[in-house]
Structure 1
Amino acid sequence: MSPVTLPEGDWIRGISIRQPYAACILAGAKTVENRTTPWRTGWVLLHTSKTIDQPALRTPLIARTIRGRGLITGAVVGIARITDCHADPEGQPLCSQWAHPGVWHLVLQDVQELPLPVPARGQVVPWKPSQDLLDRVFQQLPGFRP
């Protein structure tokens, strides 16, 4: 198996997401992530925060989506591509059942779950992953081409 040749420079960031929302993204159901500030489009590592939003586990939409999935915390669990970042106009319907009013919506596509989580520390803001972390993540995705 040959190693993945990744682009040089600043082409990928990390995004930390609380569980169970990260599991909903990996399941393919949640295609919008809500943020208070806009993000640029491009590739992101999907990192799970160390905390779990316990009340969210009782939300029927979330409970149905994550049934049978583990809620891994404190690790990179996948990658995704942000293809759009927008705020829905006030008074208009939201772009997704997962979207919240009054915040920025990151539209996620090309989600790929890692076979094995990679333990890592994240941050609330977009963060730049180390080369070692990228190596460990993309070792598991030999067919990935940005």
Structure 2
Amino acid sequence: MTTPSTPAPDEIRGISIRQPYAACILAGAKTIENRPARWRTGWVLLHTSKTIDRPALRDPLVARTLRDHDLVTGAVVGVARIVDCHQDPEDTPPCTPWAHRDAWHLVLDDVQKLQLPVPARGQIVPWRPTNDLLDQVLQQLPHLRP
């Protein structure tokens, strides 16, 4: 983990991630998020969508990571910093076991779990959190407050 920089509120975006993948990110096992398009680097609120990918619970990578982890849905559960966004070159192995071949890989760092999830609505595309939502999240992470 690198030393986090203080984000400006208008630079923070939200990213919605289905469970159990969000829990795997918070646990520190999943260091990338797969997306169909490139994302910019910077801070993101980690939001869990309202649905759980039940078949993914049988994936060995997920199963060994999720011991004693709650699968909170419909809430901001943490923050992270996207430090890189790339695709793996053809004819090379994936950058991590979590990487999908044809996806953009958002490389996550400085992942921090909230002690209290903050209920919120999200979107699959980068979304801008309301000031109220951002205040509720940053109250739990005072070292990130601008």
Letter in 2 for 1:103: A
Shift of 1:145: 5.4
| Number of equivalenced pairs | 141
**Structure 2 residue matching 1:56: 3-state secondary structure:** helix
- TM-score, L = length of structure 1: 0.93
- Tell me: CA distance 1:108–1:87, structure 2 relative to 1, closer, same or farther (3 Å): same
Q: Deviations over 1:93-122 (max 9, x none)?
A: 111111010110000000000000000000
Separation (CA, whole Å) in 2 of partners of 1:25 and 1:14: 15
Secondary structure in 2 matching 1:49: strand
Give how far 1:7 is off. 2.4
Q: Which one-letter code corresponds to 2:120 in the other structure?
A: A
Which is helix-richer, 1 or 2?
2
**Partner residue of 2:19?**
19
* SS of aligned partner of 2:25: helix
C-alpha contact (below 8 Å) 2:7/2:43 kept by paired residues: no
Residue 6 of structure 1: how far off its partner (Å): 6.1
Match of 1:7 in 2: 8
Give the distance between the partners of 2:139 and 2:114, measured in 1 at CA: 10
Percentage of matched positions with identical amino acids = 73
User: How far apart are the structure 2 equivalents of 1:7 and 1:125?
Assistant: 20
CA RMSD of aligned residues (A): 1.4
Summarize the Cα distance change of 1:109–1:6 in structure 2 as closer, same or farther, 3 Å threshold: closer
The yes-or-no answer on 1:33 pairing with 2:33 is yes
Show structure 1 runs of 5+ residues with no match.
none
